[in-house]
Structure 1
């Protein structure tokens, strides 16, 4: 049994992310699910309230250490909603009712406080978590299965850098359609090169272009299909640096921008008017300017931002494993994923 204040599991996850032992959000998602599975199975808790407190401790610890990596926090917040829902189902089976009128009037005598010891809650949560794990593992395939609905023959698709989900989406479409792909190389990481190589191996006609050529080439494109780091509460994106320019160019030519996103990338947070400076993080400038230039550029301030903020009006469609949705529908998806009391922890 673990003590309530033993956070070694989440600290290990944080360490692995910081040391690049885990690179993709998908791997973070699976590790987080496994962490929660162990917590529910072996954690020292007797009520839903105690379990929720344990999960919230881990959310706070993770958010303080890695505020720019929302995947683990999002999954833990989703599990909080599952705990609430499962507890409520058990309570209803036991004959406890809570009318809307009582809640509105502030009558808390029958409002759930999650403190009752429920004998079969642990097994119910583990069953639900097993289903959620299956959902995580099949999410990419379910998104890719929709590719033929959105990509048609002889179209030209533009994407930026490398995304595992976009790669599978395009490869899935290529089984039924013949189309061309333009890959923006995504300097200074140049991950677009490996993306283009992967697509070419699947016999997809692929062209690599530098970031500076986006506006010159985009008028030839039928669709822009990209992945994203985070989907904010208002439908905006926190995406790889360079995508904002692509989205602006697409808007200029009225080209649809489709964003492939797993549900765990939807976060209940949004960018405030004064949060732009804290929104981004900068990587080492060494990938932009070699260290050998240091003596020459002592007075230069070199920035290497990792992310762009893409407002929702530049996005046409979000595609998740549940189907396609407009940015204005994100609020509804958030209500399905998270309980309002858990938006900010």
Structure 2
């Protein structure tokens, strides 16, 4: 279903500007429309998903933690179904679900500490001495005044003293999430929205933080091969060029369009040349000739899976295999928010298909109906071909991925898309 006002959502920037004036359902449908048309892809999917989930928390009606989790899961499922080729959407949804669980757990612990403190105050209050002579009518001391002189309201006294000790639950017993009501829904809403803002800041700063390691990874005189460099790789190279002099070999699979006025990655080449870095344009079929001269190969990944495998642009797997054959290190630039706590599916391993018209022109002829042309737009690189994962948290190896995933995702949220039916 297309958005009711498509003129207001031609791209992600205008969609974000319209979130305050649009209804929640209209905003979700607008993003779904952009995802299906692939007008929003790559890193933009992470930012768009976080923005929409922030609106879900702010505008949807919910009265407890379970309802909020259900609202976020439902919206996240619709987004992942609109763009199944973008695993980063599911990553952001899982991050937000884990954030909600953490905030709810903190509120529950705060309530438990408050009740324990009140119990301690009651236990410290001295008990009145027993009467010397039995009275015909038992006289109960006034509940508003303790022997210590501490003034306590009647409601607080009843709250602390009326309960039967046999009915009181154990202190260490866990409370189900459905019974863990926050002290204030408004406070929980504000805390979760602040947490989503922190996720947005992480996404925005990830490229700059990765680029800060450029002068450590690239040395003077290096020959660096990059294949279809993403925005993350471009920032990394430009940062390294400010302190190092090296040569960049830019590999590309897409043929130049006949209507294009500039060669591929012309803007990047101009910036690097201005900084004194030499650049070489290279087609994918010429990679093997340059690999022996290359010192390292750098990729930008769309996703890093639990086993360490990569989802990358089509053609990158050729460069990775060539580097492995010649024992050249392969460095992957990837923000932590792209780490996916799942193993790759069969569809990911085979690669997503795109429009082949840029490679083969269609025309009328006898063989047209007998041809089937496939154009893969993504590749899967197995983990044994990767040496270093350079993230915004620093360089990582394959053996450290499990700890990073455990720090950023909850076990109960890993398979969230399989817990819900069709919306």
Q: TM-score, normalised by structure 1?
A: 0.88
Query: Which of 29, 47, 58 is equivalent to 1:11?
Result: 29
* Residue of structure 2 in register with 1:60 after alignment: 77
Corresponding position: 1:198 with 2:296 = no
Equivalent residues of 1:142, 1:321 under 8 A apart: yes
* Residue of structure 2 in register with 1:248 after alignment: 321
What is the CA deviation profile of residues 144-181 of structure 1, one whole-angstrom value per residue up to 9, with x for unaligned ones? 11111111110010010130000000000000000100
Q: Using the alignment, how far apart are the partners of 1:117 and 1:140 within structure 2?
A: 38
TM-aligned CA deviation for residue 112 of structure 1: 3.6
Return closer, same or farther for 1:96/1:215 CA change in 2, 3 Å cut-off: farther
Query: Which of 179, 185, 188 is equivalent to 1:121?
Result: 188
* Residue of structure 1 in register with 2:225 after alignment: 158
TM-aligned CA deviation for residue 287 of structure 1: 1.5
Return closer, same or farther for 1:241/1:179 CA change in 2, 3 Å cut-off: same
Corresponding position: 1:51 with 2:68 = yes
Q: Using the alignment, how far apart are the partners of 1:317 and 1:278 within structure 2?
A: 21
Equivalent residues of 2:53, 2:75 under 8 A apart: no
Q: Using the alignment, how far apart are the partners of 1:150 and 1:333 within structure 2?
A: 21
Q: Using the alignment, how far apart are the partners of 2:296 and 2:365 within structure 1?
A: 41
Matches within 5 A, 1:218-237: 218-237=291-310
Q: Using the alignment, how far apart are the partners of 2:218 and 2:406 within structure 1?
A: 30
Q: Which runs of 5+ in 1 are unaligned?
A: 1-5, 98-107
Return closer, same or farther for 1:180/1:95 CA change in 2, 3 Å cut-off: same
Equivalent residues of 1:185, 1:193 under 8 A apart: no
* Residue of structure 1 in register with 2:254 after alignment: 187
What is the CA deviation profile of residues 257-295 of structure 1, one whole-angstrom value per residue up to 9, with x for unaligned ones? 0111122221122125xx257752211221221113764
Q: Using the alignment, how far apart are the partners of 1:341 and 1:196 within structure 2?
A: 46
Q: Using the alignment, how far apart are the partners of 2:349 and 2:70 within structure 1?
A: 28
Q: Which runs of 5+ in 2 are unaligned?
A: 1-23, 115-171, 417-423
* Residue of structure 1 in register with 2:370 after alignment: 299
TM-aligned CA deviation for residue 126 of structure 1: 2.0
* Residue of structure 1 in register with 2:168 after alignment: none
Equivalent residues of 2:108, 2:180 under 8 A apart: no
Q: Using the alignment, how far apart are the partners of 1:196 and 1:224 within structure 2?
A: 20
Q: Using the alignment, how far apart are the partners of 1:268 and 1:16 within structure 2?
A: 25
Return closer, same or farther for 1:224/1:43 CA change in 2, 3 Å cut-off: same
Return closer, same or farther for 1:63/1:128 CA change in 2, 3 Å cut-off: closer
Q: Using the alignment, how far apart are the partners of 2:394 and 2:286 within structure 1?
A: 32
Question: SS state of the match for residue 208, structure 1?
Answer: strand
Corresponding position: 1:110 with 2:174 = yes
Q: Using the alignment, how far apart are the partners of 1:170 and 1:277 within structure 2?
A: 28
* Residue of structure 2 in register with 1:149 after alignment: 216
* Residue of structure 1 in register with 2:357 after alignment: 286
Equivalent residues of 1:50, 1:115 under 8 A apart: no
Return closer, same or farther for 1:327/1:294 CA change in 2, 3 Å cut-off: farther
* Residue of structure 2 in register with 1:172 after alignment: 239
TM-aligned CA deviation for residue 109 of structure 1: 5.9
Q: Using the alignment, how far apart are the partners of 1:96 and 1:295 within structure 2?
A: 79
Moved over 4 A (4+): 188-193, 276-279
Equivalent residues of 1:49, 1:115 under 8 A apart: no
Q: TM-score, normalised by structure 2?
A: 0.72
* Residue of structure 1 in register with 2:156 after alignment: none
Query: Which of 320, 328, 332 is equivalent to 2:391?
Result: 320
TM-aligned CA deviation for residue 53 of structure 1: 0.6
Return closer, same or farther for 1:109/1:316 CA change in 2, 3 Å cut-off: same
Return closer, same or farther for 1:300/1:19 CA change in 2, 3 Å cut-off: closer
Aligned residues: 327
Q: After superposing the two structures, state which structure 1 stretch, 292-301 or 25-34, moved more.
A: 292-301
* Residue of structure 2 in register with 1:75 after alignment: 92
TM-aligned CA deviation for residue 70 of structure 1: 1.6
